[in-house]
């Protein structure tokens, strides 16, 4: 930082960083690793089925602790398999158990609620529309409960010209923006369809999006901390950019460019639900390394 930037104010969003589901997943991995160590000192393999969370630094740290990532159940020959926070197709858990693997299910409880909502809509005869990203692991898991004819729409434009039936139910990927869900529902209503909507966007996501937007409106520069492969973190950057053009999505403090902050009086920081506290603190410390002011954490920054 330059001398004239020493007194730049750094403000963290009231709701930022790892949510309950991510913290639970990390806790379950720690439990799995502890279970893998026998009293004789032997250690059985521990794998996560896909990245536990969409945060490359966390995945790298887990690898250093001996927790490997497996792309498929077939890759895991023995030991413990941890189901990622995004959830999986239920048949994969059955396959793992049939192989004799010990399964630790770290599926986020909010994702599990979405599975239940999708299954309920399917069983009641609805064509299920999933508002989310095609190919995302969470969406693939939801599809397994929603039925073979379920549709995935990342926007209203993704809806096909003709639907198989007018009895439609809607669920959402837990990290989707409410505006996207509303747009898809509005498009269905314009066709004369009154869908049964289950708003399955998790409260933590909603909090992070709303408070990030509020902070971006006050900031000269906005930093969004978290994995670039994290959908919810990317959406925070997308939400902030229109109201704060100097918005930057970073994974680590090494990416910070001093020119970003020239003339800035207030820098806002938010972070995705898959971003641990230590990664946010690392960015804050880098910003304040040459300054005299500590970060200002807005009142009520603890999650409900």
What residues act catalytically? 138
Phi and psi torsions of 227, nearest 5°: -60, 140
Question: What does the block give as tokens for 183?
Answer: 């747009």
> How far apart, in Å, are the Cα atoms of 104 and each of 46, 88, 90, 97?
10, 12, 13, 11
Task: Give the number of residues written for the chain.
Answer: 304
- Tokens at 177, concatenated: 């923006």
Q: In the chain, which residue ranges form alpha helices assigned H by DSSP?
A: 20-36, 56-64, 90-98, 109-123, 137-146, 178-190, 203-216, 231-240, 277-288
φ, ψ dihedrals at 179, nearest 5°: -60, -35
How many C-beta neighbours within 10 Å does residue 175 have? Answer: 32
């Amino acid at each position: 930082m330059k001398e004239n930037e020493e007194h730049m104010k750094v403000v963290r969003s009231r709701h930022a960083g790892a949510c309950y589901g991510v913290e639970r997943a990390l806790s379950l991995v720690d439990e799995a690793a502890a279970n893998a160590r026998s009293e004789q000192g032997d250690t059985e393999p521990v794998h996560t089925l896909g990245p536990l969370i969409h945060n490359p630094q966390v995945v790298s740290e887990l690898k250093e602790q001996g927790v490997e990532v497996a792309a498929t159940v077939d890759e895991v020959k023995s030991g413990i398999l941890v189901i990622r926070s995004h959830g999986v197709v239920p048949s994969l858990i059955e396959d793992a158990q049939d192989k004799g693997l010990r399964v630790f299910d770290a599926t986020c409880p909010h994702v599990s609620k979405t599975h239940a909502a999708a299954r309920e809509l399917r069983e009641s005869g609805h064509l299920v529309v999933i508002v989310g990203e095609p190919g995302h692991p969470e969406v693939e898991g939801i599809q397994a409960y929603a039925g073979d004819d379920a549709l995935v729409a990342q926007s209203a434009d993704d809806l096909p010209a003709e639907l198989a039936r007018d009895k439609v139910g809607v669920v959402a990927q837990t990290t989707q923006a409410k505006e996207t869900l509303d747009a898809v529902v509005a498009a269905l209503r314009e066709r004369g369809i009154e869908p049964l909507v289950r708003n399955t966007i998790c409260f933590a996501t909603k909090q992070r999006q709303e408070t990030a937007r509020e902070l971006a409106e006050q900031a000269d520069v906005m930093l969004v901390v978290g994995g670039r492969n994290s959908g919810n973190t990317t959406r925070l950057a997308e939400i902030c950019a229109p109201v704060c053009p100097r918005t930057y999505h970073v994974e680590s403090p090494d990416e910070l460019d001093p020119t970003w902050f020239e003339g800035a009086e207030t820098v806002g920081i938010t972070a995705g639900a898959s971003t641990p506290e230590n990664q946010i603190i690392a960015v804050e410390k880098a910003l304040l390394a040459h300054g005299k002011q500590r970060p200002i954490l807005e009142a009520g920054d603890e999650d409900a």
